[in-house]
Amino acid sequence: MIKFIRVDHRLLHGQTALSWYGATHANCVLIANDDVPNDPIRKATTKMARPVGAKLVIMPIQKSIDQINSGIADKYDIMIVVESIHDAYRLISGLKDKPESLNLGGTKKTDDTENISTAVNVTAQDKVELKKLSTSGVKVYIQQVPTAASKTVDF
């Protein structure tokens, strides 16, 4: 069962590994990313950030979709972390059962982005994809840590 989905360009780090993992009562962390599984350095650093007692799974987005849709992951309470809004859109769009919400935690600032909060920057394409998710019933919100106030995003 998916407990939580977060967009964070840093993937697994202190905020996600400690604060969010505990708050979501997950027992498995899924890093859904197309690059990390094939990058030994990123994979190793991600593994080092694994919360104590958590199962850590790192796999490409399409394989993540396939595994979740197959039911093989049903025995876990899963916290999913993706690197970008586009990755979240791809993941959620491919799931048979849509999650209730998507947490925006941190996205990189570039020349093509607009800053919508302290740590969240979006492109025009991100806005389109977030609107589609929102329209499909997925609550999109910004919240850095579980103890902070959340802000619903609606484009």
Q: What residues are annotated to the active site?
A: 13
For 9-77, give the DSSP string. Answer: TT-SSHIIIIIIHHHHT-SEEEEE-SSGGG-HHHHHHHHHTPPTT-EEEEE-HHHHHHHHHHTTTTTS-
CA dihedral 96, 66, 81, 17 (to 10 degrees): 110
Q: What strand order describes the sheet that includes 139-142?
A: 55-59, 28-32, 78-82, 2-8, 101-106, 139-142, 151-152
Q: What are the two backbone dihedrals, phi and then psi, of residue 30, each rounded to the nearest 5 degrees?
A: -110, 120
